[in-house]
C-alpha cells in the first residue's frame, strides 16, 4: 500500500482516468461497430461525421494513436462507398 499522500492521490487519479478512458474507448468501438453493421448507405452517410468527430477527439486526447484514427476513418469511408 502507498505510504505517501501524493502516491494515494496518484492512485485515485489513475483510477478515475482509467474509467474515463474505458468509457470513451467502448463508446468509440460501439460507434464504429454500428457504422460497419449498417447496410443502408443513407444511414451510414448520416452516421459517418459523428464517428469521425469521436475518432478525432480520441486521437487528440491520445486515447488512440492518430494513425489508428485515420486508418479507421479511411476504412469506414471505403465501407460507405461500397454500399449500394
Task: For 16-67, write each residue's pLDDT tens digit.
Answer: 999 999 999 999 999 999 999 999 999 999 999 999 999 999 999 999 999 9
pLDDT at 2 over 90: no
Determine the CATH number of domain 5-82. 1.20.58.110
Cα–Cα distance for residue pair 47/29, rounded to 1 Å: 14
Q: Is the pLDDT of residue 1 over 80?
A: no
- The predicted pLDDT at position 3 comes to 84
> What grid cell was written down for 73?
476513418
Span 69-84, average pLDDT: 95
Cell numbers at residue 61, please?
486526447
- C-alpha–C-alpha distance, residues 24 and 38, integer Å: 21
Altogether, the residues listed in the chain come to a count of: 84
Distance from the Cα of residue 9 to its chain's centroid: 27
pTM of the model: 0.84
> Residue 82's Cα: distance from chain center in Å?
23
Amino acid at each position: 500500500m502507498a505510504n505517501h499522500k501524493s502516491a494515494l492521490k496518484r492512485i485515485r487519479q489513475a483510477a478515475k482516468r482509467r474509467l474515463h478512458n474505458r468509457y470513451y474507448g467502448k463508446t468509440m468501438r460501439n460507434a464504429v461497430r454500428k457504422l460497419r453493421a449498417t447496410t443502408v448507405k443513407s444511414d451510414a452517410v448520416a452516421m459517418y461525421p459523428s464517428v469521425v468527430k469521436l475518432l478525432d477527439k480520441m486521437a487528440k486526447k491520445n486515447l488512440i494513436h492518430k494513425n489508428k484514427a485515420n486508418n479507421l476513418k479511411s476504412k469506414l469511408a471505403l465501407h460507405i462507398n461500397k454500399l449500394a
